[in-house]
């Protein structure tokens, strides 16, 4: 399977592409897409990297698994294509943006405009079999995306990492907290949000305050 990833990432990830686990992963993904319906579409697997170039990364949001329903996933964590019904976690994310920043709740759940401002919307696993949540986990994607997080931490400064939920919070071990800002919260899923672990976290407001304190342009959430 061809690795359709923006040139800006290749100097930092080229060694990863040649490792045995990654070659095995690509063979697995290629086989899955040929024999099953999988998401996102094959040409959108690396969308997070293609719409947020390495030199532009200011914020990293870590999800776990792509949406596994028809037309939902397009390579950006928590985001859905235009015209697709907003999943519950995305609804709570957009409600919290509205609450913190006074931004009107949008008609579209497509977060491409976030990616284009320097937000890497990174799922830990980049592919999934249709209607089978977690079906591509522990095949090698997590090794690759952990390397991405660690590379950003090592090679850049003043990046905001948004770690939502227990799974994402474990990624803090990959991040140099002396160089970067880590903001934690409960997961935006209804189970967590309805227990008081999501709403009122101030992550979007705090992220912008940090970026501005470093002389960087805030995000138009």
Q: Which residues are catalytic?
A: 65
> How far apart are alpha carbons 60 and 203 in whole angstroms?
12
Helix (H) or strand (E) holding 141: helix 141-155
Give burial (CB, 10 Å; 0-12/13-18/19+) of 204: buried
109 is written with which tokens? 């759940």
Helix (H) or strand (E) holding 83: none
CA–CA distance, 42 with 216 (Å, rounded to integer): 34
Nearest Cα to 207, choosing from 48, 57, 77, 63? 57
């Amino acid at each position: 399977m061809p690795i359709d990833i923006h040139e800006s990432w290749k100097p930092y990830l080229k060694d990863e592409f040649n490792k045995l686990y990654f070659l095995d992963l690509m063979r697995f993904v290629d086989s899955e897409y040929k024999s099953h319906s999988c998401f996102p579409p094959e040409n959108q697997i690396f969308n997070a990297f293609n719409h947020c170039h390495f030199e532009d990364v200011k914020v990293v949001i870590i999800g776990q698994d792509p949406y596994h329903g028809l037309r939902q996933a397009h390579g950006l964590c928590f985001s859905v294509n235009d015209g697709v019904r907003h999943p519950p976690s995305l609804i709570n994310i957009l409600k919290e943006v509205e609450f913190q920043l006074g931004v009107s709740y949008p008609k579209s759940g497509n977060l491409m405009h976030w990616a284009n401002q320097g937000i890497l919307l990174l799922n830990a696993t980049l592919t999934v079999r249709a209607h089978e949540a977690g079906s591509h986990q522990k095949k090698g994607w997590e090794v690759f995306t952990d390397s991405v997080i660690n590379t950003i931490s090592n090679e850049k400064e003043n990046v905001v990492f948004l770690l939502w939920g227990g799974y994402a919070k474990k990624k803090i071990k990959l991040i140099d907290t002396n160089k970067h800002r880590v903001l934690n919260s409960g997961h935006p899923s209804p189970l967590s949000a309805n227990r008081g672990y999501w709403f009122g976290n101030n992550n979007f407001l705090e992220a912008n305050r940090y970026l501005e304190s470093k002389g960087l342009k805030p995000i138009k959430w």
